[in-house]
Amino acid sequence: MSRALLYTIVFIEGFCSLGAEVIALRRLVPHVGSSIVVTAPTIGFFLLALALGYASGARVAADYRRIVARNFLISAMLAGLGLAGTSVDGMFAHLQPTWFAYLCFIAAILCPLAWLLGQTVPILTNLMQTQRSGEASGMALYWSTLGSFLGSLSLSLLVMQWLGVSAAILACSGGLLIGVLLLAGRQPGMAALSLATLIAAGVLNTRQTLTADTAYAEYEVSSVVLEGQQNPRAFMVNKSLASLIDDSEPPHYTRYIRHLRKILLDDLGYRERDILVLGAGGFTLSHREPLNRYTYVDIDPKIRDIAERHFLRDAVRGEFIADDARRFVATTERRFDALVVDVYSSHTAIPSHLVTLEFWAGTRKVLKPDGVLLANLILDGKLETPYARNLLNTIERVFGRCAVDVLQKGKPLANVEVACFASSRPGSGLVYSDETNRADVDRARSR
């Protein structure tokens, strides 16, 4: 086996193995989110399967090219068919609870793929014509790791950004099938199986009902039935309802958007104010609202075009900036009269770096002295969970006492609207008791 062919094969292995891991993490976002408690075990299981693949490949003593070609073919099937959106969605829809579906995905798709591809380098180094084993393994690992580096970057930053996740899956599966053909040579059976795999992967990854599928999220605009509304449609982000709109005059919006509008326009009476919105959703907060100036910040650069074309069917009112919310508030020199925080990667998942003390301190810095923070949170309706209590406590540690309004009080999960003022300050309070009751004095001081 020539050095050029061997290095090409191990390069493909590295490119597609890391590419498959990146794709798997992206496919899991709509179902289990992207928090550290999801990404860390996923990466850990992948590395464990890769290590077991190294050990398994080290025991192979003959028929090297045929075994690697077979592994590549099976891996191409796992990537092209198992990582397709239809397959992953079906797995999480029919296997409950969610943690069980996650483990099945890891055990049936990701780990077998990593285990098979992990065998490549130890198997093919047996075919390297070199005087030293260190040189053989070192150069093979170099080309494999170089492929991993380029695969992770190109698939996430180029292919997913411009062509979508399905295109990245086809690139990964197609690369492995090229490796099969290079290894198998003139074997009609392997060529036929490779072609069948490519066709099946192409069909499965193009037959999707999604409106758009970017590196950051899955978007779907679908018609819904709502009493008293004209042709209502829902804007779904990662299988979670982000916005609603219809063709009535004036249009109907989701309850929390109506609530935010009431605070800004009626309660605060904002006119000609600068309002920053972190998390674009469907851009409905400023829809047909000409009284104020809106700036939207969202991490996905494609969300504005998707919303305008398929959801609003109208131009977005306001400026749009594609950036990470925390980075924007940390670096901008602009100051705003109001800041609306509505950042979700799925229905209940706020990215973990956007719930910390440091993030909320950053939001305070971008507000004018008399500015207001409005945060849309999805928490349990009774605010009893540790997450709800700790998140609200974190916000109030920065802003002091805030108004908290639970919109759907009878539901397990509810929109919770938090309103805080930049002019207030955090502080410790006293407890009134029968023995030391300072209520009347404090009431007089507060007038």
User: In 10 A of CB 341, how many CB atoms?
Assistant: 23
Give me the chain's average pLDDT, please: 91
User: How far is it, in rounded angstroms, from Cα 216 to Cα 155?
Assistant: 13
Q: What is the pTM of this model?
A: 0.83
- pLDDT at position 347: 63
Q: 35: left (phi > 0), else alpha (psi -120 to 50), else beta?
A: beta
- CB atoms near residue 298 (< 10 Å): 26
What integer is the mean pLDDT of 151-177? 92
- State how far the Cα of 295 lies from the Cα of 338, in Å rounded to an integer: 10
What domains appear along the chain, each with residue ranges and CATH number?
3-208 (1.20.1250.20), 218-421 (3.40.50.150)
Residue 131: the pLDDT is: 58
pLDDT at 433: 76
Q: Which of 122, 102, 90 is nearest to 13 (CA)?
A: 122
Walk across the sheet containing 293-298 and list its strands.
Answer: 319-322, 293-298, 274-278, 336-341, 367-380, 413-421, 403-406
Q: Tell me: the pLDDT tens digits for 186-235?
A: 788 899 999 999 999 999 988 766 788 888 888 999 999 988 899 999 99
pLDDT tens-place string over residues 320-358: 999 999 999 999 999 999 999 999 876 657 888 899 999
pLDDT at 2 over 90: no
What confidence tens digit (pLDDT) does each residue in 6-44 have?
Answer: 999 999 999 999 999 999 999 998 888 888 889 999 999
- 3-state SS assignment for residue 39: helix
Stronger pLDDT, 407 or 207, i.e. the higher one: 407
